[in-house]
Amino acid sequence: MGDPLSAAFAAMADPTRRDIVARLADGDAGVTELAAHYDMSLQAVSKHLRVLEDAGLVSRTREAQRRPVHLEAEVLDLMAGWIERYRRRAEERFARLDGVLQELQEQDRPARPRGRRAGGQR
C-alpha cells in the first residue's frame, strides 16, 4: 500500500534518519548543524532530510536564511497511535486467552475451590 503512513515508516527504517529525528525532537536545527554529528557529506545528510521531508516527518522553514529543519511531531504521534492500536488489539486477544486459560485450569483442577473471574466471553 503506497500510503503516507508506509512512507513515514519506511523513512524511519534507516538508523541515520532515526537519529536525525531524535535530535530534532530537542528542537529545530540547521542542515550544517545536523551534519556535524555524522561522518558523511552535507549532501548525504541533505538526502536523508529529503526522504524525511517527503514522508512528512520534517519540514523546512522557507523564511529564515539557514532554513532550519522542523520535526512534524504530529506524524510521529500518528505512527505511535497506529502501533498502540495494533498492540491494544493484541492485548484484547490475549485477555480473552486469559479467560480461556482460567477456564481450562478450573476444569483440570475441579477439586480446588477458585473464585470465578469474569471474562472468557466470546
Q: Which residues sit at the interface with other proteins, rule CB under 8 A? A: 1-6, 9-10, 12-13, 15, 18, 56, 72, 74-75, 78, 81-83, 85-102, 104-105, 108, 117-120, 122
The pairing of strands 69-71 and 58-60 is antiparallel
Q: How far is CA 20 from CA 13, 27, 35, 78, 98, in A?
A: 12, 11, 9, 18, 41
Nearest to other proteins of 9, 38 (CB atom):
9
Report the nearest approach of other proteins to the CB of residue 103 (Å).
9
Report the nearest approach of other proteins to the CB of residue 68 (Å).
18
Burial class (CB in 10 A: 0-12, 13-18, 19+), 77: exposed
Nearest to other proteins of 37, 117 (CB atom):
117
Nearest to other proteins of 18, 33 (CB atom):
18
Nearest to other proteins of 66, 93 (CB atom):
93
Report the nearest approach of other proteins to the CB of residue 43 (Å).
24
Report the nearest approach of other proteins to the CB of residue 116 (Å).
11
Task: Determine how many CB atoms are found less than 10 A away from the CB of residue 81.
Answer: 10
**Looking at the chain, which runs of residues are DSSP E strands?**
58-60, 69-71
3-state secondary structure of 71: strand
